[in-house]
Amino acid sequence: MSKRATGCLIVLGIFLALLVVLFLATLFTLRAPSIKANTVLKLPIEGTLIECPPTSMMERFFMAKVTVVWDILHVLQTASKDSEISGVILHISTFNSGLAKIQELRKGIIDFKRSGKFVLSFMETAGNKEYYLASAADEVCLVPAGDLNLTGLVTEVAFYRGFFDKWGMIPNLEHIGKYKSASDILTRKDMSPAHREATESLLDSLYQSLVNDLAQRNKLSNPKNVRELIDRGPFTAQEALDEGLVDQLLYEDQFYELVRQKNKGQLPLITAKDYQRSVMRLSPWGWPPEIALINATGTISTGESFYAPLVGRVMGSKTISQAIRSARKSNSIKGIVFRIDSPGGSALASDIIWREVELTQGKKPFVVSMSDTAASGGYYIAMGADKIVAQPTTVTGSIGVIAGKFDLRGLYDRLGINKEVITRGKNADLFTDYRSFSPEEKEILLKMIGNIYKNFVHKAALGRKVTDEEIDSIGRGRVWTGEQAIENGLVDELGGITEAISLVKEMANIPAEEEVEVVIYPRVRPLIWGRWLEMVKTGGIDLPEDLLSTTLGLTSKARELLRERAFTLLPYSVRFR
């Protein structure tokens, strides 16, 4: 073929591609709903608050309804500058979340109100977390027959040593760090003094933050009044109204009539999903600066990220490292926000991710945004960032290590099982579950996790630009809230994704007023495409054994996580209902 013919084919191909793009853009524009004057944005908050959409059919099935935090924040930011949007209604159903995510959404709502537009919230019934979010609105409305279960915070720590003793199971677990109590729930029957001290301190800080935020409601007046109200909870709908916790008792039809009255007698509504499409339609042509938002969610393990029903999301070191590497090498990405929501996990996997963060130093601005939890391994992977931003209620720190095994000899004997162990090499059966560690082996284990702890402390010291001794003094497995972490130097600023993006823009010399495009990493495959790939890999879905392991959450990847020897893992969680 001649060069001329080849050139013509290339030009024709480009022309056809442009036609396809133009056709799709036009089709999208035609389908995107129009926004009328005085339109009210409707934001349903329900299901589970998560950082990024489900990445597989299995996750979508088991998680059911979800609310993506960044989607809500982005919609609120955009709508606050949109002259056609007059206000927002929050339709709040029961949802699952930690304090920090709710605190971040509350901040987004409060920032939206500063634009002079109204925010109304509606609930049929409410627990602590639903009310905490709703309280950021101008008016809180509750169904007359509903109730308000405002009762405060609780942490419940179950200790399993008594159960193991009954079944002849002996936990051989060691930890580095006075407060590293993740192994205590397996080796003790009650809280150690250090465990109790750290838990009390954490709850005090979280509770103070909750009370202070609720006290911002005019009708609640001050923190002392809020504490007294919480101690008297829960409340019937009428009691909640009498105490100033809610503003009106309305059924849903009455609530929308209230919205109409607030909105000059008009009620054009648009959902968040439709609004996002409309905003895309109205966006000017051009290529704004891009900032990567890398979501690092779940327990940390080596290999690929995955989801299993009984395990939840698992953050794979390979997946996250590749995401950081791709963003670092992309010419269009001007900076990176690393969003962490993790209690930690594998020490090895955490170190692998840390290395990629470290390699980004000096190449592109890299700012960590901590969600509900960024503790232990979750803090480890944050240490190499230029800046760390956390919410006041983020659970962080927990710089410590645990490792060990279970001696199941007693259980095997009870079940009539005998194991013959034949070795070559003095320590070949170091981690066998058929006996406990010898004193010599225990020293080997302590030396191993001691080295991991020293490495953890040293890298944290490098990242925070302090001495190893200073990090050790606030480490030792101690858990802190974001508020406390500011004071001890583990965190740089209080805030969320929005504040992290602002920091990246400043570091990348992007004007504060200039819009940027946030590019999500790791790239999420469409669910249908992802499921098709899974079927190709397994040769179809008619695999009873594979389906059984999937149902139980005992996939091969989950088993890999359980085979890890050393963990940097958060010792407990605080429930916020």
E strand segments, 415-488: 479-481
Long-range pairs of 526-533 with CB within 8 A, sequence gap ≥ 24: 527/54, 527/55, 527/56, 527/57, 527/60, 530/55, 530/56, 530/57, 531/56, 531/57
Which residues partner with 335 through β-bridges? 291
Q: Which of 127, 123, 71 is nearest to 99 (CA)?
A: 127
- The encoded tokens of residue 539 equal 């040769």
Place of tokens 């007698």: 265
Contacts of 51 (CB under 8 A, 6+ apart): 68, 69, 70, 295, 297, 339, 341, 371
Which residues partner with 49 through β-bridges? 67
Beta carbons within 10 angstroms of residue 234's beta carbon: 15
- Given 181, 209, 369, 376, which residue is catalytic? 376
The length of the chain in residues reads: 577
**Angstrom distance (rounded) from CA 558 to CA 550:** 10
**Angstrom distance (rounded) from CA 298 to CA 56:** 15
Contacts of 169 (CB under 8 A, 6+ apart): 406, 407, 408, 410, 411
Contacts of 487 (CB under 8 A, 6+ apart): none
User: How would DSSP label each residue in 328-376?
Assistant: HH-SSEEEEEEEEEE-EEEHHHHHHHHHHHHHHTTTS-EEEEEEEEEET
Which residues partner with 333 through β-bridges? 290
Beta carbons within 10 angstroms of residue 285's beta carbon: 5
Instruction: Note the Cα 203 to chain centre separation in Å.
Output: 20
**Angstrom distance (rounded) from CA 412 to CA 319:** 38
267 contacts 41 by C-beta, under 8 angstroms: no
- The encoded tokens of residue 439 equal 């004193």
Whether a cis peptide bond, with omega within 30° of 0, leads into 522 is: yes
Q: Which of 501, 484, 505, 446 is nearest to 180 (CA)?
A: 446
Sign of CA dihedral 204, 205, 209, 215: positive
114 contacts 147 by C-beta, under 8 angstroms: no
Q: Is 371 a known active-site residue? A: no
Contacts of 333 (CB under 8 A, 6+ apart): 290, 291, 292, 327, 364, 519
**Angstrom distance (rounded) from CA 346 to CA 344:** 7
Helix (H, G, I), strand (E, B) or coil at 569: strand
H or E, element range at 519? strand 517-521
Provide the residue type at 446 as one letter. Answer: L
User: Catalytic amino acids?
Assistant: 376
